């Protein structure tokens, strides 16, 4: 896949979240997913991605002579509870879905997963909350109940405790959230669906690619490959660092991901696909992997495809001048 790197010149300070370690990990979501069916085609998808918002408009068509009811779902990225104590993580939020202009109320299915197995029923039977501070309840369990979870591999012992002090356990499962609703697809008619949310944008107060020792190491090379960052993009980072008057200036970065490959799950390819990526400010640098990119504004870039099946997900890196 051909590289596309676009850089132009700034203005705003990095708006992404920064935790105690000045870095936030991104969690990428994607678009809506239907129960597998050969009756419904995705006629078009119009996708907008920025660090602040993801908007996607679909046109679905039921090609059969009968009305069809199907479950439409929005799977969230996994929430690995073991990651929470080590780093700040940004998750998608603020979801809105409309069908033919009318807002849809989505239900939430939540599961506790470990190594591909659903352990929700076991945790529910023990009245252990799946997500919100389960440690308190884990410590209240009896020894046999704790041992049951240990045998299942769902927890690890963090402190064996002692006389008068209960054993302290930490959870090891991941939360799998899926928002969903049942939708009627009228026979032989198009259905317009719009979905928008704030992406789980990650970032740092200073991109590692501004530091030569990291840029030329294994970690830097992996990041360069992930975002197809070419010589022009890296030279742009060096230019921003020089403009800041420091050899290793802390240049804010934002990382945005979008799961495109769910769009390959249809009976037929996506008829008409349009993607617009917005880098936020004219002076920001942006890098992502794509070909056939066209600049349509000082901050926006467009990609179009016809009869397309996506074969990779979208990863976007935005680097800003220091304010």
Q: Phi, psi at residue 208, to the nearest 5°? A: -65, -25
Q: Are 245 and 18 in contact (CB under 8 A)?
A: no
Phi, psi angle pair for 96, to nearest 5°: -135, 130
Kindly state whether residue 115 falls inside one of the protein's structural domains.
no
pLDDT of residue 6: 38
Together in a domain, 278 and 166: no
pLDDT of residue 187: 94
DSSP 156-202: EEEE--BTTB--EEEE--EEEEEEEEEEEE-TT-EEEEEEEEE-B-E
Do 308 and 229 fall within a single domain?
Answer: yes
Percentages of the chain per state (helix, strand, coil), in multiples of 5: 20, 45, 40
26 Cβ contact partners less than 8 Å away, ≥ 6 residues apart:
89, 90, 199, 200, 201, 202, 203, 255, 256, 257
| Cβ neighbours for 225, distance < 8 A, ≥ 6 positions apart | none
290 located within any domain: yes
Residue numbers in the chain where pLDDT is lower than 70? 1-22, 246-248, 263-265, 323
The pLDDT of residue 11: 27
In a domain, 68, yes or no: yes
Evaluate whether residue 207 is within a structural domain.
yes
- Looking at the domain assignment, is residue 113 inside a domain? no
Residue 32 lies inside a defined structural domain of this protein? yes
The CATH number covering residue 226 comes to 2.60.40.3680
Q: What is the pLDDT of residue 264?
A: 63
**Which pLDDT score is estimated for 22?**
66
Q: How far is CA 82 from CA 79, 93, 110, 126, 262, in A?
A: 9, 21, 17, 20, 26
Pair 222, 251 in one domain:
yes
Domain boundary among 152, 172, 192: 172
Domain contains 16: yes
Q: How many domains does the chain have?
A: 2
pLDDT of 263 = 67
Domain range for 186: 3-108+179-319
DSSP state of 78: P
Same domain, 254 and 199: yes
Q: What DSSP line would sit under 254-282, residue for residue?
A: EEEEEE-GGGG-SSS-EEEEEEEEE-SST
Residues 312, 199 share a domain: yes
Residue 2 confidence (pLDDT): 35
pTM here? 0.85
């Amino acid at each position: 896949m051909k590289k596309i790197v676009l850089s132009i010149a700034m203005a705003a300070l990095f708006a992404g979240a920064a935790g105690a370690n000045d870095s936030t990990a991104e969690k990428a979501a994607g678009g809506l997913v239907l129960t597998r069916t050969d009756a419904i085609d995705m006629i078009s998808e119009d996708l907008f991605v920025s660090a602040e918002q993801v908007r996607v408009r679909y046109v679905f068509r039921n090609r059969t002579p009968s009305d069809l009811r199907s479950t439409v779902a929005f799977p969230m990225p996994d929430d690995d509870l073991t990651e929470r104590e080590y780093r700040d993580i940004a998750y998608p939020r603020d979801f809105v879905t409309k069908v033919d202009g009318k807002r849809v109320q989505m239900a939430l299915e939540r599961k506790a997963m470990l190594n591909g197995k659903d352990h929700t029923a076991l945790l529910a039977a023990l009245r252990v909350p799946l997500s919100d501070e389960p440690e308190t309840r884990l410590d209240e369990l009896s020894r046999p109940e704790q041992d049951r979870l240990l045998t299942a591999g769902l927890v690890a012992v963090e402190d064996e405790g002692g006389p008068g002090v209960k054993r302290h356990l930490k959870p090891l499962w991941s939360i799998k959230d899926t928002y969903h609703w049942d939708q009627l697809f009228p026979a032989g008619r198009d259905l317009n669906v719009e979905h928008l949310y704030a992406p789980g944008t990650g970032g740092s107060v200073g991109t590692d690619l501004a530091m030569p020792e990291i840029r030329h190491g294994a970690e830097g090379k992996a990041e360069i490959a992930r975002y197809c960052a070419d010589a022009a993009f890296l030279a742009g980072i060096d230019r921003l660092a020089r403009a800041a008057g420091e050899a290793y200036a802390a240049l804010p970065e934002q990382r945005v991901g979008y799961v495109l490959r769910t769009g390959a799950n249809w009976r037929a390819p996506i008829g008409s696909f349009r993607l617009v990526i917005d880098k936020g400010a004219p002076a920001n640098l942006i890098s992502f992997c794509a070909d056939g990119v066209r600049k349509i504004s000082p901050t926006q870039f467009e990609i179009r495809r016809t009869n397309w099946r996506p074969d990779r997900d979208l990863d976007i890196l935005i680097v800003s001048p220091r304010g």
